[in-house]
């Protein structure tokens, strides 16, 4: 590649490469763009921005295109990033809230007496369910870890949503109907390799669905 083109394009390429390293696989899934996006792009092109025009140059046309190409690539990359950022924002902010409950330590293990929080069941844009958990003042777990569960009202069956890493969004298994497992439970689990509930719950609440 010609040195002058490399020098001109390198700063933008480094920026885009740095941004690309922050993206996950889910970030590359683009939903239908918002109304008016393409119309706005067409208006910019129609306005005659010289950076987006490729004019006929009988002589030196290769050099002309070489000078313009980084600008065109940069504009296209900026557009893709803008659409991608819009898509991620829509995925994280477009969840439907179905039910919310406070999580209480009442009658549970003394280790969690100072703990509190709430859980919100949401349906994501793709139809999957998740729990948005907001917790505070959790007990130290030097001899184990905290785990998040959903349980049926008869305590006959339950599903683990994995170790609790503080406040955040925890997806439900695809095949699970949340209405059948409305009890949200956080327990202290020993690192003994046993997948079953320890019986040491520190917070609990029941969703109304």
Q: Domain residue spans in the chain?
A: 3-93, 96-206
Number of C-beta neighbours around residue 147 at 10 A: 20
How many angstroms separate the most distant Cα atoms in the chain?
85
155 backbone dihedrals φ, ψ, rounded to 5°: 55, 35
pLDDT digits (tens, 9 = 90+) for 152-199: 999 999 999 999 999 999 999 999 999 999 999 999 999 999 999 999
Determine what percent of the chain is predicted with pLDDT higher than 90: 53
Rg (CA), the chain: 26
Residue 174 backbone phi and psi in degrees, to 5: -55, -35
What is the token pair recorded at 168? 């955040």
Confidence of residue 141 (pLDDT cuts 50, 70, 90): confident
pLDDT digits (tens, 9 = 90+) for 27-50: 443 444 555 556 666 666 666 655
At residue 132, the pLDDT reads: 98
Q: Would you state the pLDDT for residue 89?
A: 34
- What is the distance of C-alpha 181 from the center of its chain? 24
């Amino acid at each position: 590649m010609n040195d002058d083109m490399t020098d001109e394009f390198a700063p933008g390429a480094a920026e885009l490469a740095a941004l690309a390293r922050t993206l996950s696989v889910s970030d590359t899934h683009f939903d239908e763009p918002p109304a008016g996006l393409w119309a706005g792009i067409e208006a910019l092109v129609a306005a005659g921005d010289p950076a987006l025009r490729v004019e006929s140059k009988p002589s030196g046309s290769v050099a002309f295109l070489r000078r313009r190409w980084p600008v065109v690539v940069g504009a296209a990359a900026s557009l893709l990033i803008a659409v991608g950022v819009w898509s991620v924002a829509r995925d994280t902010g477009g969840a439907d809230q179905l039910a919310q409950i406070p999580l209480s330590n009442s009658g549970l293990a003394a280790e969690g007496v100072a703990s509190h929080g709430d859980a919100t069941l949401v349906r994501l844009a793709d139809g999957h369910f998740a729990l948005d958990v907001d917790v505070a003042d959790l007990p130290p777990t030097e001899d184990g870890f905290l785990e998040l569960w959903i349980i049926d009202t008869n305590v006959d069956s339950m599903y683990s949503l994995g170790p609790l890493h503080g406040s955040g969004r925890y997806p439900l298994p695809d095949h699970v109907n949340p209405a059948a497992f409305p009890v949200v439970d956080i327990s202290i689990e020993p690192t003994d390799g046993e997948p079953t509930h320890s019986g040491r719950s520190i917070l609990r609440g029941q969703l109304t669905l």
